[in-house]
């Protein structure tokens, strides 16, 4: 009898715990009767305020729907374990979320919102379309961006030769001044995919990433040579070293500084605050054989659990509101580059005001999207955390040694790909 009591207590405890999670997909209503749409994104940095302007603007314009926005650092985890209607998914994660059944085809919502594929730049639309169906509304593309310090360089370098020349000039002035900084970790995925794109290397092989390509090894060795042969970058720069070196000041040999940073546009605020009018922004230079830009993107995706037609109507209303130049321009104001064509027109018309959005929009035509494979982030993890670091920190690294690392990383990528739902 006693053990039965304990069993009841245990089951009750488990029930209490399970009651804390989960939910249904029925629409929620606010106190004033508006249909609530839960929206989660990871905009916890400076850009969050600009997205909030859009959602606040929508809510103020509505008497039927309300966007309840959550900006969370671990927004993917919360999205997976929570009950959200709308989420911002990165372009390189869209395929994973589709295959995991976490998002739904939004083709019908495009129609409801009065949007067409032709309203967006192809670069964004290519990312949103999987197997011929639309799985997201492309908000922006954030490609690798070039910042330069006008104190050291008048005109942005356009080629690798320009970078070499700049480096010679800077080194002649001060041995602690370099053309740019190559990080060992952080934004290295952008570096690797950029050099692959600029050398015409396609990493996608079926449903996995294949890094073990001699052409890719040759391309990657560019970064090794930047540090150890051409010495356009100081050695031993750690996490986000490309930006940290750009922001440091070379003072009496205690720190090194670079004139150029190939980095993420999200660093714009900090760089602008420090350099003001001395900050230059430009598309990335051509380091490989052909011009190409690489970056990631933000997509607005709808949860697979959304079945309620009223919620879908509300989402369509929000999307309709968001993708208008006067509202989406807030996103450009935050430093992001929207792919909505009419908003690009507005950005171009006021290119001095939306400097970074404009410069990045110039990269859209040569943009190469992330390969759409299942668990992209996991497939490239070894490259991000191990191989690139070895590449730029090992002075005597050979192409053969690099190929072995690439083979090992490819094997892991294939194993990750095998976890794809059947």
Partner 1 sequence: MHKGTSTKTWAFLMVSPFILCFILFWLAPMLLGVWVSLHNWNLSSGNNGFIGLQNYVDILTPGSLYNEAFMLALKNTLVFVVISVPPLVIIALGLALILDHLPAKLKPVFRTIYFVSYSISVTAVSAIFLWLFNENGGFINNLLVSMGILGKPINWLSEQPYAWVSVLIATVWWTIGFNMMLFINALDEVDPSLYEAADLDGANGFKKFIYITLPQIKHVAFFIIIMTVIASFNLYGQSRLITAGGPEQSTTTLTMSIQNTVFSMNQLGVGSSMAILMGIIMLLVTAAQYFMSYRKKEVN
Residues 6+ apart with CB under 8 A from 152: 166, 170, 177, 259
Chain-centroid distance of CA 357 in Å reads 15
Token representation of residue 370: 């992330």
CB of 134 to partner 1, least distance (A): 21
What does the alpha-carbon distance between residue 380 and residue 208 come to, in Å, rounded to a whole number?
10
Say if CB 314 and CB 37 are below 8 A apart: yes
Instruction: Compare residues 42 and 241 and give the one whose CB is closer to partner 1.
Output: 241
CB of 184 to partner 1, least distance (A): 5
Mask 350-379, x = binds partner 1 (CB under 8 A)? -------------------------x-xx-
Token representation of residue 17: 């715990």
| Touching partner 1, residues 380-409 (CB under 8 A) | 385-386, 389-390, 393
What does the alpha-carbon distance between residue 263 and residue 188 come to, in Å, rounded to a whole number?
9
Instruction: Compare residues 10 and 26 and give the one whose CB is closer to partner 1.
Output: 10
User: Is 419 a residue that touches partner 1 (CB under 8 A)?
Assistant: yes
Instruction: Compare residues 104 and 245 and give the one whose CB is closer to partner 1.
Output: 245
CA distances from 334 to 30, 38, 260, 272 (A): 29, 22, 22, 12
Instruction: Compare residues 6 and 309 and give the one whose CB is closer to partner 1.
Output: 6
| Touching partner 1, residues 245-284 (CB under 8 A) | 245, 248-249, 253-256
Residue among 128, 149, 146 at smallest CA distance from 137: 128
User: Is 25 a residue that touches partner 1 (CB under 8 A)?
Assistant: no
Instruction: List the one residue from 30, 77, 168, 324 that touches partner 1 (CB under 8 A).
Output: 77
Residues 6+ apart with CB under 8 A from 406: 211, 212, 213, 216, 217, 220, 387
Token representation of residue 340: 């909505």
User: Is 185 a residue that touches partner 1 (CB under 8 A)?
Assistant: yes
Torsion angles phi and psi, residue 58, rounded to 5: -65, -50
Mask 95-124, x = binds partner 1 (CB under 8 A)? --x--xxx----------------------
What does the alpha-carbon distance between residue 44 and residue 204 come to, in Å, rounded to a whole number?
31
CB of 378 to partner 1, least distance (A): 5
User: Is 44 a residue that touches partner 1 (CB under 8 A)?
Assistant: no
CB of 198 to partner 1, least distance (A): 25
Residue among 321, 315, 312 at smallest CA distance from 340: 321
Instruction: Compare residues 188 and 197 and give the one whose CB is closer to partner 1.
Output: 188
Instruction: List the one residue from 91, 234, 370, 371 that touches partner 1 (CB under 8 A).
Output: 234
What does the alpha-carbon distance between residue 163 and residue 198 come to, in Å, rounded to a whole number?
16
User: Is 410 a residue that touches partner 1 (CB under 8 A)?
Assistant: no
Say if CB 369 and CB 129 are below 8 A apart: no
* Residues near partner 1 (CB under 8 A): 9-10, 13-14, 16-17, 74, 76-77, 80-81, 97, 100-102, 184-185, 234, 236-239, 241, 244-245, 248-249, 253-256, 375, 377-378, 385-386, 389-390, 393, 412, 415-416, 419, 421
């Amino acid at each position: 009898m006693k053990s039965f009591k304990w069993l009841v207590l245990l089951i009750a405890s488990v029930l209490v715990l399970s009651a804390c999670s989960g939910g249904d997909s029925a629409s929620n209503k606010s106190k004033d009767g508006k249909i609530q749409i839960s929206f989660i994104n990871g905009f916890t940095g400076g850009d969050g305020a600009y997205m909030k302007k859009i959602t606040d603007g929508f809510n103020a314009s509505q008497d039927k729907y309300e966007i309840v926005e959550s900006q969370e650092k671990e927004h993917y985890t919360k999205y997976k374990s929570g009950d959200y209607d709308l989420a911002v998914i990165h372009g390189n994660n869209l395929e994973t979320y589709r295959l995991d059944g976490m998002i739904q085809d939004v083709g019908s919502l495009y129609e409801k919102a009065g949007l067409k594929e032709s309203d967006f730049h192809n670069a964004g639309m290519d990312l949103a379309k999987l197997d011929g169906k639309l799985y997201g509304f492309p908000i922006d593309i954030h490609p690798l961006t070039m910042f330069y310090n006008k104190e050291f360089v008048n005109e942005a370098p356009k080629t690798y030769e320009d970078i070499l020349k700049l480096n010679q000039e800077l080194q002649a002035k001060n041995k602690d001044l370099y053309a740019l900084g190559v990080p060992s970790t952080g934004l290295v995925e952008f570096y690797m995919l950029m050099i692959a794109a600029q050398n015409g290397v396609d990493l996608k092989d079926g449903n996995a990433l294949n890094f073990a390509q001699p052409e890719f090894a040759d391309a990657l060795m560019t970064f090794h040579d930047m540090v150890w042969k051409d010495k356009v970058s100081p050695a031993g720069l750690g996490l986000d070293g490309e930006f940290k070196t750009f922001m440091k000041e070379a003072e009496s040999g205690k720190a090194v500084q670079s004139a150029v940073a190939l980095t993420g546009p999200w660093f714009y605020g900090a760089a602008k605050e420090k350099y003001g009018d001395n900050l230059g922004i430009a598309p990335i230079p051509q380091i490989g054989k052909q011009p190409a830009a690489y970056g990631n993107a933000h997509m607005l995706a709808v949860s697979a659990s959304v079945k309620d037609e009223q919620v879908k109507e509300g989402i369509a209303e929000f999307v309709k509101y968001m993708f208008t130049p006067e509202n989406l321009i807030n996103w450009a104001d935050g430093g992001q580059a929207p792919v909505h064509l009419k908003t690009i027109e507005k950005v171009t018309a006021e290119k001095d005001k939306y400097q970074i959005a404009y410069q990045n929009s110039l990269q859209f035509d040569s943009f190469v999207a992330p390969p759409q494979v299942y668990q992209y982030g996991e497939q490239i993890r070894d490259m991000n955390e191990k191989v690139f670091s070895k590449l730029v920190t090992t002075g005597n690294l050979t192409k053969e040694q690099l190929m072995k690392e690439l083979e090992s990383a490819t094997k892991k990528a294939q194993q990750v790909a095998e976890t794809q739902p059947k």
